[in-house]
Amino acid sequence: MIRASENPSRSSSRGATEAGELKPVIGRPPLRIYLRQLWQRRYFILAESRAKAFSQTRNMLLGHVWLILSPLLDAAVYGLIFGLLLKTSRGIDYFVLYLFVGITFFGMISQSVGGAVGLIRSRKNIIKAFSFPRAALVLSFSLRQVIDAVPQILVAALVVAFFPNGPGLHPAVLLSPFVYLLMIIFDAGLSFFSAWLSDIIPDAKIPINYAIRFWFFASGIFFNIDHFIHDSMWLKILHSNPGYIILDMMRGCLIYGKYPPQGQWVLLTVIAVSTFIIGFLCFWSREVKYSRG
């Protein structure tokens, strides 16, 4: 027996209802779902970061040796110009170590900012081909920076430990990994912000590079800020600079055997966490637009 055809009005009504339930294929999910999707991609984040680790020196003649030589050569150049010629080393105990620790760890911070510029534009092919939370690319980049920094951190630890007539190791060195952890969180937030801003403004690379350069000199890499700045207001501003805080805490732990004061721990924690949250939210707010263009 042939079944009667369905009522056209009912069919059209159901079609309209189904059409009304349609959602865009590409959209920004709610933050809670977005975070869950990121967690589900954790193996991709880890695999990509490991695959791209040390890629900058992979095709060079000396290869990964440059990861160790670069901070040593930078310290030699700045030490010669500023320490020996301009005498900024006056009043600084263990100036060579002071300079080396500053260059090593600030280099990691600056790379997290400058390296993330144009990150989204450089990965347009994978962004358009696959549906996944774009923040995974930034987290993969941040994790790659951590892996790339391992040789430099080991060299810094060895230089401090075996430096001739150096300070040796102090129990305060055990706190340095916690300072580094806060630095990683802070760096990841900067990477989110840099990737987000450079996707909006392609020319952002130039002002960001100038900002990094200014930040470098304002963080006391090769001189003691207290010896040159005497205005209390400017000293307070410069001492609140997260770059300076990280370097001062690291130098205290690694070189001078000083336990960072509680105020620095609180301030750095607040800065690191807030930078990560703000950077992540800025990046997430533009999620839909990353696949365009």
Q: pLDDT tens, 49-73? A: 888 877 665 565 666 677 778 878 8
121 part of a folded domain: yes
5 part of a folded domain: no
Number of domains in the chain: 1
List, in order, residues 6 or more apart from 136 with CB less than 8 Å away.
Answer: 38, 41, 44, 45
Instruction: Give residue 18's Cα distance to chain centre.
Output: 45
Q: Give the model's pLDDT for residue 243.
A: 96
16 part of a folded domain: no
For residues 283-287, give the mean pLDDT.
92
9-18, 156-165, 228-237, 276-285: least confident range: 9-18
Phi first, then psi: give them for residue 166, nearest 5 degrees. Answer: -85, -175
Q: Give the model's pLDDT for residue 57.
A: 59
For the chain, the C-alpha Rg in angstroms (whole number) is 25
pLDDT over 60 (residue 11) = no
219 part of a folded domain: yes
Token pair in block for residue 236: 């307070």
For the chain, how many residues are written? 293
Token pair in block for residue 16: 């309209």
249 exposure class (CB count in 10 Å sphere: 0-12, 13-18, 19+): buried
Which of the given ranges, 103-117, 217-231, 270-284, has the highest pLDDT on average? 270-284
Higher pLDDT, 25 or 273: 273
How confident is residue 188, by pLDDT bands cut at 50, 70 and 90? very high
Q: Give the model's pLDDT for residue 251.
A: 95
4 part of a folded domain: no
Identify the domain containing residue 172 by its residue range: 27-291
Confidence (pTM): 0.85
> How do residues 142-185 score in pLDDT, each as one tens digit?
999 999 888 889 888 888 888 888 888 889 999 999 999 999 99
178 part of a folded domain: yes
110 part of a folded domain: yes
253 part of a folded domain: yes
